[in-house]
Amino acid sequence: MAQKSPSVFAPTQPAPFCEQTILNTMESAIKFSPMVPWVEPFDVQRRLEQLRGFLDPNNPHYQPERQHVNIKAAIKLYEEGKIDGEKKVFIMNGKIVDKKEIFKGPDCSWSEGKFHQYALKHSYGQGPYRDNFHEVLASF
């Protein structure tokens, strides 16, 4: 009969990889670290540059001609301070419209502002909960 080797975790012996020292893992200066990261403030000037780029045919993100009236309207609304990039705004034919309006006609629409992505809880491993959505921080 083969003899069993002594267990490394036997209560009479400490594990060979354990040390009897206490490590200080805290930084000398504790910094505030929120549970939910702060969202970066909206940069209107940067957005204006992006929108102007969408009108440039040499830009790889160039938008079709049919959207130009909406993009130009968005630029004008930002410059006049009528939109701030935080609140959702829908633009159709160069005018701000209600969200319902963008689904009615054949014309293109453009949206500005922050949108949040919603996900079903079971989509990331917490079980199916019917229509019980909750917010995932993902701004677009």
Summarize pLDDT for 55-93 with one digit per residue, the tens: 999 999 999 999 999 999 999 999 999 999 889 999 999
pLDDT digits (tens, 9 = 90+) for 2-60: 555 554 444 555 555 555 555 555 556 666 666 666 667 889 999 999 999 999 999 99
pLDDT exceeds cutoff 80 at 137: no
* Residue 85 exposed, middle or buried by CB count within 10 Å (0-12, 13-18, 19+): middle
Q: How many residues can be counted in the chain?
A: 140
Beta strand 109-112 with 116-120: parallel, antiparallel or unpaired?
unpaired
Query: What pTM did the predictor assign?
Result: 0.59
Return the percentage of the chain with pLDDT > 70, whole number.
54
- Give the pLDDT score at 115: 75
With cut-offs at 50, 70 and 90, classify the pLDDT of residue 136.
Answer: very low
How many whole angstroms separate alpha carbon 62 and alpha carbon 59?
Answer: 5
Type of residue numbered 89: V
